[in-house]
Amino acid sequence: MYSSWFQFFKPILIENLTIDKEDFEYMPIFERVGGLAKARKIFKNKLDELIIKLNAMIAA
């Protein structure tokens, strides 16, 4: 289930070099699949941690 969502992260990260919770509400790629509410449901209480880790790995 996670893997299908990770495919949506790549274009955002390529374009912006970071991902934020707001991206889940405003980026069409996420809006089409349910936005922030759906992402929170999929990743449960790990979404904030995932965003922090992704951004840290890209910045490294």
pLDDT digits (tens, 9 = 90+) for 5-15: 888 888 888 88
> Looking at the predicted structure, is the pLDDT value of residue 22 above 80?
yes
d(CA 55, CA 5): 16
Residue 1 confidence (pLDDT)? 60
Helix (H) or strand (E) holding 51: helix 47-59
Instruction: For 40-53, write each residue's pLDDT tens digit.
Output: 999 988 999 999 99
Instruction: State the first-to-last Cα distance of the chain, in angstroms, to the nearest integer.
Output: 27
Structure tokens at 33: 């699949």
pTM over 0.85: no
Torsional class of 13: left (φ above 0), alpha (ψ -120 to 50), beta (otherwise): alpha
